[in-house]
Amino acid sequence: MLKHVFALSVVVALSACGGGSGDSTPPTPPVSNLPDLLLTAENYQEVTPVAFAFQEALLQLSHYSYGRIQNLSETDRNQDIICSNGGIRSVDWTGSISRPGQATAGTVITETFRDCLVAEFNEVLNGSAVISVKAESTAANIQLQLNFNGLEISSAPAIVVVDPFELSITESADLYSIKPALINNKLRFNFKGEGIYSLSNTVLNHQLNTKTALYTSSFQTDLTIDDFKSGLKIATSKGFSGYVGEYPHEGAISVTDVKNNKLEVKANYVENSYLANVSFTGASNPGSTHWSSLIEGALWSWPGLSSYYLSEFRADNFAFSGFYHPEKLSNLNVNDTVTLQFSRELAPSQNLNLYLLGNWSTADIPLEYQIKGSQLILFIPEGMKYDQEYRLSYFTITSAKGYTIDVANWDMFKGNNAVKALITASTKVFTKDQYPQLSAANSQSKTGLNLTYSWSEVTNTGLIFSAPDNKETSFYYTGSVPVQKPLIKLTVTDSQGNSASELLQLSPYTQGLNTLYFTSDQGDYIGQGQTVLHQTEGSVVNYLSMFEQWNTIRASIEYSENDQNYNWSLSFSAANGAPLTTGHYTGASRHPFQPFNTPGLDFTGNGRGCNTSRGEFTIHEIAYSGDENSPQLDVLAMDLVQYCEGGPTKIKASIRINSNVLLTF
């Protein structure tokens, strides 16, 4: 920040030594012992960055302040947060915040830094900044008062912004605007060891047209330095303009001293658009300099935008510029929006086929979106798993002028960790007059704030909740049990609007039909995190064998659904060669390799099996007939739990053959 202002020391030194315009006319008697601050043909190129330094400083302070009021979280409050360079920052506030983490009118925020590198300034900060959201502030017209007097910006030299000032940030349909305003027409910068630099009569109007992605910026100020009689006037004669992430291709600004010596900086259009042209009164050879030596980047960006893109201007440019508020990608609530900025207006109607991509155990989630001028707005849907990371799918997008680019990025999307929704169900299956109890008791609020609960059905089966706004509920149907599987949703919300949802698919079943049913944890190798319910009026078992007088049963279950073939196999046996009968069998290991004095159990499917396993099973009913040559399993009601490879994830399965025993999990 303001790192280029050191160039003024050249002017200061020359002026203090009596250097000036080169006029040989004998000087008139001075009316003051203080010298004038003058530009010369010898120093103007070194002084050129001063034309933009204070304009950019105000923009950097604005960017930082806007980002801070947009990104508050109770979980971070008064916590030491590690900065990218290893320093520390912490934040506290009086007042309140609204979803999604934005300070409301009347809030006063204090952020404290200790050797913390802050991206908006690209400098290390120490001390405290105070941001006050004024009472008249609204979401579309943010009014702030900023006080950085307690903050030292470790530039070269270190800088303190002495005076408070006000900031207005407005957002209309297609136009964003930043306008700082000085209090008492004064804003001083203390360059430690070099003096006080003061701004007055300052007007900055920085705008972004979100339809076209075109920024414009006009600026004027009177700059004075302590111990000098006169100062410099800095003003744009034509506001600078360009596209987001690109150097300006139009605009001019001048720096003029009391004797009308004038330095002027102009943008180039296409040829040499990475350079700014520099001229000075009376100099015969205008120069040029790279934009990056004049500006650090706030001019062609916008508050909250993390830009991956910087380019010289071409009329056929088209690029992905970046996300707004990328820090929020790891803290997303359902119905939040994520905005992607592009460097040109987008074609309004496009089929982008966007997804949040999960990992091997997490389903991909389709995204709805809106194209708004140069921005692509994503709507965060239901279904993001708590604490799981997702990545935006690769996509191709077209500009309004027909240029096409491919967009691929590795920024990770993650659900809000402030609130976690968890459904506990007594069973995931139900039949007439046997409805599960549903509980949100395991839902969490890391903010410590009270939660409210809302149960709803995503599908439309006619399900009725007994207590839709309570932590605990059940449901029922007034008519017959539907064939369609109902999908229910729990939404928990804290008093700041942080929310999270979880979905649960329930399955109706018909008591008395032959049944295979199982649920499996995420990460279970056999079940792959699935819940499966298969019922038939015919035989559920395709192959059956019996050994040692019904000590061991092996069964194969094969069926087809939705053009997919399924094959599940079950083997189980009693310990010590005893015949299988009703009871609870614990300490089972993989059949047929279990010790003689322990039960055996092996549930496999679709080519997946365990090398080692442990588990238990319960036989509620069993009846069989025939012999080893012609076995007949007449009745079986069995539940099992199996863990593969000594891991913590499990599969739970139930088999019912000619049995009315209810499913219970």
DSSP for 466-488 reads SSTTSSEE-EE-SSSPPSSPPEE
| Domains contained in the chain, number | 4
| Residue 18 pLDDT level (bands cut at 50, 70, 90) | very low
pLDDT value for 304: 86
Report if residue 663 sits inside a domain: no
Is pLDDT at 406 greater than 50 in this prediction? yes
Give the model confidence (pLDDT) of 122-137 as tens digits.
899 999 999 999 988 8
- Give CA–CA dist 149/147, Å, rounded: 6
Asked, for residue 315, whether it belongs to a domain, the answer is no
Residue whose C-alpha is closest to residue 278's, from 109, 549, 41: 41
Q: Does residue 542 surpass a pLDDT of 80? A: no
Q: Provide the terminal-to-terminal Cα distance of the chain, rounded to the nearest Å.
A: 62
- 136 and 50 in one domain? yes
Question: Quick one: which of 275, 269, 232 has its CA closest to 47?
Answer: 232
Rounded Cα gap, residues 390 and 329, in angstroms: 10
Q: Is 626 helix (H, G, I), strand (E, B) or coil?
A: coil
In a domain, 481, yes or no: yes
The pLDDT score that the predictor gives to residue 5 is: 53
Residues 581 and 495 in one domain: no
Q: Which residues pair with 553 in a beta bridge?
A: 546, 572
Please state the separation of Cα 213 from the chain's center in Å: 22
Gap between the Cα atoms of 325 and 340, Å rounded: 10
Q: Across residues 231-255, what is the average pLDDT?
A: 96
pLDDT by residue (tens digit) across 202-223? 999 999 999 999 999 999 999 9
Whether residues 391 and 426 fall in one domain: no
Q: 505, 459 in Cβ contact below 8 A? A: no
Q: Is the pLDDT of residue 419 over 90?
A: no
In this predicted structure, what is the pLDDT of residue 75? Answer: 72
Mark which of 412, 442, 472 sits at the end of a domain.
412
* Range with top average pLDDT, 94-98, 285-289, 386-390, 639-643: 639-643
Residue 665 lies in a domain: no
Percent of the chain with pLDDT over 70: 95
In the block, which residue shows the tokens 């802050």?
Answer: 118
- Given a cut of 70, is residue 574 above it in pLDDT? yes
pLDDT (0 to 100) of residue 24: 41
Residue 14 lies in a domain: yes
Side-chain half-sphere exposure of 461, counting CA atoms within 13 A: 23
Sequence-separated (6 or more) residues with CB below 8 Å from residue 287? 45, 277, 278, 279
Q: What is the pLDDT of residue 478?
A: 83
| Nearest residue to 264 (alpha-carbon basis) of 234, 242, 292 | 234
- Residues 457 and 501: their CA atoms lie apart, in Å, by 12
Do 490 and 390 fall within a single domain?
A: no
CATH code, 432: 2.60.40.1080
Domain membership of residue 464 as a residue range = 419-508
Q: Is residue 282 part of a domain?
A: yes
Query: Quick check: is 662 in a domain?
Result: no
pTM: 0.70
**Bridge partners of 203?**
220
pLDDT tier at 496, thresholds 50, 70, 90:
confident
Q: What tokens were used for 616? A: 């238990």
Mean pLDDT of 389-404: 95
Determine the Cα–Cα distance for residues 288 and 283; give it in Å rounded to an integer. Answer: 13
CB neighbourhood size of 192 (10 A): 11
Q: What phi and psi, each to the nearest 5 degrees, are found at residue 76?
A: -95, -5
User: In the chain, pLDDT over 90 holds for what percent of residues?
Assistant: 59
Question: Do 378 and 231 fall into the same domain?
Answer: no
List the CATH number of the domain containing 375: 2.60.40.1220
* One domain, residues 408 and 449: no
Place of tokens 């800088």: 159
If you average pLDDT over residues 154-159, what whole number do you get? Answer: 85
Q: With cut-offs at 50, 70 and 90, classify the pLDDT of residue 526.
A: very high
Is 70 exceeded by the pLDDT of residue 6?
Answer: no
- The predicted pLDDT at position 31 comes to 54
442 and 575 belong to one structural domain: no
Which of 86, 82, 91, 160 lies closest to 121 in space, CA to CA? 160
pLDDT digits (tens, 9 = 90+) for 137-151: 887 899 999 999 999
CB atoms within 10 A of CB 165: 22
313 within domain boundaries = no
Same domain, 265 and 378: no
What was the pLDDT predicted at 638?
A: 96
pLDDT at 1: 59
The enclosing H or E element of 237 equals strand 232-243
In a shared domain, residues 232 and 288: yes
CB 313 within 8 A of CB 242: yes
pLDDT category of residue 25 using cuts at 50, 70 and 90: very low
Q: What is the pLDDT of residue 13?
A: 47
Q: Determine the average pLDDT of the residues in 549-566.
A: 86
Q: Are residues 519 and 480 in the same domain?
A: no
- Give the helix, strand, coil percentages of the chain, each rounded to 5: 10, 45, 45
Place of tokens 């604490």: 387
Give the model's confidence band at 251: pLDDT under 50 very low, under 70 low, under 90 confident, else very high: very high
Tokens representing 554 are 């092996």
Residues 590/572, Cβ–Cβ less than 8 Å: no
Question: Is 243's pLDDT higher than 60?
Answer: yes
Q: Are 48 and 294 in contact (CB under 8 A)?
A: yes
Structural domain ending residue among the three candidates 307, 331, 360: 307
Average pLDDT, the chain: 89
Q: Which of 508, 542, 557 is the last residue of a domain?
A: 508
Contact (Cβ atoms closer than 8 angstroms) between residue 50 and residue 123: no
The SS3 of residue 32 is coil
Give the pLDDT mean for 551-569. Answer: 88
> pLDDT tens for residues 305-358?
887 789 999 999 999 999 988 888 887 877 789 999 999 999 999 999 999 998
Give yes or no for residue 604 having a pLDDT over 60: yes
Q: Choose among 349, 338, 355: nearest CA to 397.
A: 349
Judgement on whether residues 498 and 404 belong to the same structural domain of the protein: no
Structure tokens at 255: 């720096």
Give the model's pLDDT for residue 514.
92
pLDDT at 540: 80
Residues 408 and 425 in one domain: no
Give pLDDT, residue 303: 87
